[in-house]
């Protein structure tokens, strides 16, 4: 997506002004950030089951997307402004699958460097994010990673990138801020995991700006979560 795309510039015709967007995004972050910050206190908990966490996450993400859609409807903004464009759908899915491979190796390398430097990582996966080896929970896990990929890319890349570029007038600043906000919800992965997730969020944002669509970032995000939450437990269980 070109930096001078009119959908990404402040005060574009038919949309809210810069001050309105700043107020709107502040209200949105006030609702989102506190709950995300709780992830830093989730490392030691083990009492919550996978089903409860999965259902709560699905409902939370769908609620936030519904709020974003309300904002877009109220402001008269097209869905394409949020990155919901499939004009190059299949090619973007393929691109996302291809880019997922170097991103995964890069993320693993970064996390290993951070671990060697003394940054923390959890000794074991968070129990509440590991489904049991039964069909019902595996199906729920699959639904979870699909919804999370679509919803979180809509939230952190589509909506927040749109607003942050308008407010800061800098795509670079918007990429950095959206990556930081994205990483806040992953405190349970330790400091090394938080930094790594932030770097991945920056990659998702750059791909989104390049393609002008969330399809490729959604594909990358889905594959990352699907392998970590669905495939890895299956492999470990055999």
- CB contact at 8 A, 226 and 145: yes
The predicted model gives 27-44 an average pLDDT of 81
Other CB atoms closer than 10 Å to residue 10's CB: what's the count?
Answer: 17
Give 139-184 as a DSSP string: HHHHHHHHHHHHHHIIIIIIIHHHHHHHHHS-HHHHHHHHHHHHHH
Over its C-alpha atoms, the chain yields an Rg (Å, rounded) of 18
For the cut 60, the answer to whether the pLDDT of residue 184 exceeds it is yes
What pLDDT, on the 0 to 100 scale, is given for residue 121? 79
What pLDDT, on the 0 to 100 scale, is given for residue 6? 42
The predicted model gives 42-51 an average pLDDT of 65
Give 193-234 as a DSSP string: HHHHHHHHHHHHHHHHHHHTSSHHHHHHHHHHHIIIIIIHHH
pLDDT in tens, 124-152: 666 667 888 889 999 999 999 999 999 99
C-alpha dist (Å) from residue 65 to 101, 158, 175, 204: 28, 10, 20, 18
For the cut 80, the answer to whether the pLDDT of residue 43 exceeds it is no
- CB contact at 8 A, 164 and 19: no
Q: Domain-by-domain residue ranges, the chain?
A: 6-39+47-236
210 confidence band (pLDDT: 50, 70, 90): very high
pTM of this structure? 0.89
Owner of token pair 């390398």: 109
CA 76 to chain centre: 24
For the cut 80, the answer to whether the pLDDT of residue 33 exceeds it is yes
Instruction: In whole angstroms, give the CA distance from residue 189 to residue 231.
Output: 18
- CB contact at 8 A, 197 and 183: yes
Residues in the chain: 238
pLDDT in tens, 60-84: 999 999 999 999 999 999 999 999 9
Q: Phi/psi of residue 125, each to 5°?
A: -60, 150
For the cut 80, the answer to whether the pLDDT of residue 40 exceeds it is no
Instruction: In whole angstroms, give the CA distance from residue 223 to residue 14.
Output: 36
Question: What is the number of alpha carbons within 13 Å of residue 115 lying toward its C-beta?
Answer: 12
Instruction: In whole angstroms, give the CA distance from residue 82 to residue 84.
Output: 6
């Amino acid at each position: 997506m070109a930096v001078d795309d009119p959908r990404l510039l402040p005060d574009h015709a038919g949309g809210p002004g810069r001050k309105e967007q700043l107020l709107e995004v502040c209200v949105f972050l006030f609702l989102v950030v506190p709950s995300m910050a709780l992830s830093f206190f989730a490392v030691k908990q083990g009492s919550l089951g996978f089903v409860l966490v999965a259902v709560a996450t699905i409902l939370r993400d769908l609620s936030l997307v519904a709020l974003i859609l309300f904002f877009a409807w109220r402001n008269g903004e097209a869905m394409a402004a949020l990155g919901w464009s499939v004009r190059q759908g299949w090619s973007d899915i393929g691109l996302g699958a291809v880019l997922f491979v170097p991103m995964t190796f890069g993320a693993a390398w970064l996390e290993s460097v951070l671990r060697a430097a003394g940054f923390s990582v959890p000794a074991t996966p968070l129990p509440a994010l590991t489904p049991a080896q039964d069909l019902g929970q595996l199906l729920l896990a699959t639904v979870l990673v699909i919804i999370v990929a679509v919803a979180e890319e809509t939230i952190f890349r589509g909506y927040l990138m749109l607003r942050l570029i308008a407010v800061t007038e800098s795509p670079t600043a918007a990429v950095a801020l959206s990556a930081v906000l994205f990483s806040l919800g992953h405190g349970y992965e330790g400091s090394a995991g938080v930094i790594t997730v932030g770097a991945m969020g920056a990659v998702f944002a750059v791909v989104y700006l390049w393609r002008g669509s969330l399809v490729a970032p959604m594909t990358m995000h889905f594959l990352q979560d699907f392998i970590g939450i669905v495939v890895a437990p299956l492999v470990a269980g055999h």
